């Protein structure tokens, strides 16, 4: 295990919060809770096995309006520790009434994510030998092919002598021809490594992916099987290759990927991925409040409580069959979130409530928070738009007053309409910079100073007209 792998097992709660501060403004209590939950996973790995298996993760329930950072906290947390992460909308399990998506598909998606993550790392580990093998194959493809010379003279074949052409033995190359061939191959390899042949075209044999579909069975519930027919039959069917003509630079990339696939031991990948999913996996259940029955359990809301009952065994811990093997959910960390504007967390079924012992309330964003979101996070909104337009010679200069004015208008809109948090800023900036973005390719306007007056001039008419803002902002 390399240093980077070790580093993620030495993160302190303070370091985790400092990392989250780089991307998310405010919400200190939520950051602190997820940091402690993550540290407890690290602590559990240091326990003796007989104790470790008894320590269950402390799942978290985040309560707060939309656009305040709930999803971002969970996603950044998974990025930090390089953990398999899936985000699912709880409403997916009710969107077709009683026949929602199978809840076990959450764990299957997590297993897929873990396999892809481990495979990507393993492929990176074999990148150098794979590139060398690709170069060897390219050199062979570029090497001039000698004419086949039969050991049987042509006049004998005309009279039926020497057997069929298929059984003809090719005459072995002389030592001189072999030396010449090796010398040419070495020269081609040297030119390939210097990149001097990148624009030349070459014909190579590439393996085509096997895809076997059964349309009649591919209905709505197919994902619940967790089975890929192509994978099942892949070992029984011969690999199909296709001859393609392309540039050397493109062929190098394609052959390197193909060689890397051959070098990676998929059995080892699957074993590591399943362990990673079970021990480090993070599942983010969004919109959990949308599966809470309002004012009782009768009527059309009965399906909502049914979804909670279906989720219960997954969250409590149970084995789930995937196409890679069994994944046990006992130690997967579940983070759920919801606005809970018309229902309360206590309206969840008692058993599910008990599986989310840590409750965190996220605060609505203030004007100061909105101003900080515009400028403070790494790759903040203003940095993104400045970088985008800089590619076409436009330098945007946002004054502090303009930032404050945008935050004021966003707060006003959130107060007078639906409070969508920081997402309001995206729509406002698009309208603010619309004319500049439209004319930038032709005009290349140099430096554009965005002042409070500029912001008011562009946005005030929209905000003042209640009919327009309903659709645009």
Q: Which residues are annotated as a binding site for ATP?
A: 25, 67-72, 286, 351, 423
Q: Give binding residues as ranges.
A: 25, 67-72, 286, 351, 423
Give the β-pairing of 60-63 and 240-247: unpaired
With left for phi above 0 and alpha for psi between -120 and 50, is residue 340 left, alpha or beta? left
User: 405 burial class (0-12, 13-18, 19+ CB within 10 angstroms)?
Assistant: buried
| Helix and strand element counts for the chain (H, E) | 21, 11
Query: 79: which residues sit within 8 A by CB, 6+ positions away?
Result: 85
The residues near 397 (Cβ < 8 Å, ≥ 6 apart) are: 447, 448, 449, 450
Q: How far apart are CA 232 and CA 153, in angstroms?
A: 49
User: What is the β-pairing status of strands 333-338 and 60-63?
Assistant: parallel
Which of 369, 392, 471, 373 has the alpha carbon at shortest distance from 427?
A: 471
Q: Cβ neighbours of residue 242 under 8 Å, at least 6 residues apart?
A: 205, 206, 208
- Residues 6 or more apart whose CB falls under 8 angstroms from that of 56 comprise 317, 330, 331
Residues 6 or more apart from 328 whose CB is under 8 A from it?
278, 317, 318, 319, 320
- Region of 446 (left: φ > 0; alpha: ψ -120 to 50; beta: rest) is left
How do strand 201-208 and strand 446-450 relate by DSSP bridges? unpaired
Determine how β-strand 240-247 pairs with β-strand 394-398.
unpaired
């Amino acid at each position: 295990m390399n240093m980077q792998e070790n580093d993620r097992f030495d993160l302190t709660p303070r370091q985790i919060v400092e990392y989250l501060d780089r991307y998310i403004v405010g919400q200190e209590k939520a950051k602190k809770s997820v940091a402690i939950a993550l540290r407890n996973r690290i602590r559990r790995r240091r326990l003796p096995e007989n104790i470790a298996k008894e320590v269950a993760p402390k799942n978290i329930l985040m309560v707060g309006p939309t656009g305040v950072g709930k999803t971002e906290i969970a996603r950044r947390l998974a990025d930090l520790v390089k953990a398999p992460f899936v985000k699912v909308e709880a409403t997916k399990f009710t969107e077709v009434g009683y026949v929602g998506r199978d809840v076990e598909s959450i764990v299957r998606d997590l297993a897929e994510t873990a396999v892809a993550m481990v495979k990507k790392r393993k492929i990176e580990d074999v990148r150098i030998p794979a590139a060398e093998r690709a170069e060897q194959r390219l050199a062979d493809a570029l090497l001039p092919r000698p004419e086949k010379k039969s050991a049987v003279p042509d006049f004998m074949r005309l009279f039926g002598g020497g057997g069929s052409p298929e059984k003809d033995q090719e005459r072995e190359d002389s030592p001189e021809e072999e030396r010449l061939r090796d010398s040419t191959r070495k020269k081609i390899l040297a030119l390939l490594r210097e990149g001097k042949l990148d624009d030349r075209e070459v014909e190579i044999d590439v393996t085509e992916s096997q895809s076997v579909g059964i349309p009649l069975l591919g209905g709505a519930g197919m994902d619940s099987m967790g089975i890929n027919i192509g994978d099942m039959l892949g070992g029984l069917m011969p690999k199909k290759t296709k001859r393609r003509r392309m540039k050397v630079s493109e062929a190098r990339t394609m052959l390197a990927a193909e060689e890397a696939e051959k070098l990676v031991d998929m059995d080892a990948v699957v074993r590591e991925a399943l362990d990673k999913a079970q021990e480090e996996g993070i599942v983010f259940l969004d919109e959990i409040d949308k599966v809470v029955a309002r004012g009782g359990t009768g009527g059309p809301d009965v399906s909502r409580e049914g979804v909670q009952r279906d989720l219960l065994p997954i969250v409590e811990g149970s084995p789930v069959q995937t196409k890679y093997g069994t994944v046990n959910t006992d130690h997967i960390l579940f983070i759920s979130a919801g606005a809970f504007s018309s229902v309360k967390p206590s309206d969840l079924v008692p058993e599910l409530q008990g599986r989310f012992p840590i409750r965190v309330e996220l605060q609505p964003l203030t004007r100061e928070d909105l101003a900080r979101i515009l400028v403070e996070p790494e790759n903040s909104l203003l940095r993104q738009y400045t970088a985008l337009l800089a590619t076409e010679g436009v330098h945007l200069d946002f004054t502090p007053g303009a930032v404050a004015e945008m935050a004021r208008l966003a707060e006003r809109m959130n107060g007078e309409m639906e409070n969508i948090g920081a997402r309001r800023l995206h729509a406002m900036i698009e309208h603010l910079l619309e004319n500049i973005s439209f004319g930038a390719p032709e005009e290349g306007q140099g430096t554009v100073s965005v002042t409070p007056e500029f912001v008011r001039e562009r946005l005030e008419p929209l905000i003042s007209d209640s009919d327009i803002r309903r659709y645009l902002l």
